Amino acid sequence: MSISSDMLFDTMKNNMLLILASTSKFKKRQLEQLEVDFKVEDSRVDEVILPNETPDNLSQRLSIEKAQALKFKYPNALIIGSDQVVACENKVLGKPLTEQRAIFNLNFMGDKCIDIYSGICVLNTEKSNQHVHVEKTSVKIRPLPLDLIKRYLRREPDALYCAGGIKSEGLGMILIENMYTRDPNAVIGLPMYFLVDALLKEGFRII
């Protein structure tokens, strides 16, 4: 019996394990939109900034390190490593984790332009193929009065675990005056257009 192209792609898909090297529930939700089976695994990479490291290089390096950290555990898999960096006036603003830090970050960014760097690395551990990309999103933040910041954080407590304290989906839209990006998904965490392209190049069938 001849093998159709559909059957061939199904075989390629089912033989390759897909790993999301992140415990971020936001990125997990993004990947779930593709309706594919995948496993979530913490890469446990220390997100430190190297001396004189630019925000885009930081995002790229950490994305690669997160994917590479799991390659020996999963020798026949596609591993997705990713990292997001928010920068304002050349200052990197990480995940605030506390309300006090979030208030400081948002107050600092108010009425300014910021850049969001969403890095991604798709690693085929069997073939050692690696697809790396950093999607830059330029955002103009509205003027943010202190009472607005506090109300936002009360309504969006998950913002404490987002880069810079900006959870762009949901109420996060009230912070943003305008935005320029080639991939609107990237501001959530994963540059989905690039991810889909990388998966298809590695023979992973999505639908």
83 in catalytic set: yes
At 39, phi and psi to the nearest 5?
A: -120, 140
Q: Which amino acid is at 100?
A: Q
Give the active site residue among 10, 42, 46, 83: 83
| CB-based contact 113:143 (threshold 8 Å) | no
Environment class of residue 46 by beta-carbon count within 10 Å: exposed (0-12), middle (13-18) or buried (19+)? exposed
Catalytic (active-site) positions:
83
